[in-house]
Amino acid sequence: MTISHTASPVSAPILSITPVDGLIDVPRRIVVSGLMPDELVALSARTQRTGGAFWDSQATFMADAQGIVDLTRDAPVGGDYAEISAMGLLWSQHPSDATGLEVFADDVMQPLTTSLTVETADGRRAEGELAQRFAVPGVARREIREEGLVGTLFTPTGPGPYPVVMVLNGSGGGINEARGALYASHGYQAFALGYFKVPGLSPYITETPLEYCETGLHWARRELRPRNDFVAVSGQSRGGELALLLGATFPDLVSAVIAYVPGAMVHGAQGAGDPARGGWQGATWTKGGVALPHLWQNNSAVHWHPWAGDAPPDRHHSVFFEGLKDRPLADRARIPVEQIAGPVLLISGRDDRAWPSSLYSRMVVSALHRQKHPYLVRHLDFDDAGHSINLPFVPTTQLSRAHPVSKVPFTTGGTVSGNAKADLGSWHGVLAFLHEITGR
């Protein structure tokens, strides 16, 4: 499909994008034709994201003998990425300034729009746009403020009932609406539940009661009437730790666990902790008003943490390896995953520098196998991927950033290309896992 061209029909390059509009997880075919054989051409992409910030990328290509550049076939000869990738111009984008670092839009019901520009050395140009959606037409969004819960419900198009996925964010807090909307676009009713750092709840993760999430699980079963009574919990990072913990604590309420870059231990509040209640070493989760034992609770092997005021190391996950040396405490802090009564999917990056999610995921798999877990257990472990495994075709260039709560800089790990591959592979793996266990 020809999007536009701005010079004469004979000499102008022609830019085509297929499809122009689609879900964010749909790859696009981007082709430039009408070039001279072996001509160099620059392609740039600009996307407006949260708060009006722009994200940009650029790559230079050499046309083939027919005067064509096809991003599904051709690697750039220079620019922001260096491999064959149909969507490289999207995942290699960098923020234009430091004021807007979020990769999603303010309103997930609206598409992200990317402007593409083609420019030759002699100034011939072509321009076009593509739209990436989180929600297909017909997906409904509803804010939930009931029984003390703070969340957002996304309901698919078409007749129900639907399997339900509860979506939990990580140590940045808030509500993961983007993932919730995309789950709903694939036929799952998604309840994106905030548990801190949202209006009406604590600004910190410290002493979060598991009963709050238990209320959310009961609410989902009662109010959403899920297909075959299926309610999965999907969480990222601290949310992945929480997803495993909920599955182990409330096995009758959790049908399956999807844990992105999770912890296998209960950890202290760390970078999302309340400075007035123990900070890094404060308790994260409580049950019955009692704090759960955690890895930083008088740990005999650790006398420092990576955010203690000094410059944080690139691989501050080393403190977690030190923490595991206190074996009695590690045993007490271990999440009893063998109590989970359903399938488990674990997703990790082998170069995770925030904490060792690959090791933690292997520990979970090993514990389940030792106990002859009767349900599906799957571990997707990605080379050259770090802690920030996200949705497909979003920028993966923020390998270091300030923590959203503590504002202390930390390194997530992985490479830009490796994280992009993990984004796509993990999402395909999640959909395949859910399809396999729900039959959708």
Q: Are 259 and 347 in contact (CB under 8 A)?
A: yes
**Exposed e or buried b per residue across 115-127, where buried means at least 16 C-beta atoms within 10 angstroms of its C-beta:** ebbbbbeeebbbe
Q: Are 152 and 181 in contact (CB under 8 A)?
A: no
Helix extents (H) in 255-356: 318-323, 327-333
Does the annotation count 92 as an active-site position? no
Taking alpha carbons only, the member of 397, 425, 399 closest to residue 411 is 399
Does the annotation count 237 as an active-site position? yes
Q: Are 303 and 320 in contact (CB under 8 A)?
A: no
Q: Are 159 and 222 in contact (CB under 8 A)?
A: no
Q: Which of 74, 326, 352, 423 is catalytic?
A: 352
Q: Which of 5, 305, 373, 387 is catalytic?
A: 387
Single-letter amino acid, residue 117: T
CA gap 48, 147 in Å, rounded: 36
Question: Encoding tokens for residue 189?
Answer: 């009713």
DSSP-based three-state secondary structure for 252: coil
Taking alpha carbons only, the member of 164, 161, 165, 109 closest to residue 138 is 109
Whether cis (ω within 30° of 0) applies to the bond prior to 161 is yes
Q: Are 208 and 185 in contact (CB under 8 A)?
A: no
The phi, psi pair for 436, rounded to 5°, reads -65, -40
Torsion sign across C-alpha atoms 13, 18, 21, 25 = negative
Q: Which of 44, 57, 234, 237 is catalytic?
A: 237
Q: Are 47 and 114 in contact (CB under 8 A)?
A: yes
Taking alpha carbons only, the member of 23, 288, 262 closest to residue 133 is 23
Question: Encoding tokens for residue 318?
Answer: 């080393």
Does the annotation count 352 as an active-site position? yes
Residues shown for the chain: 440
Q: Which residues are catalytic?
A: 237, 352, 387
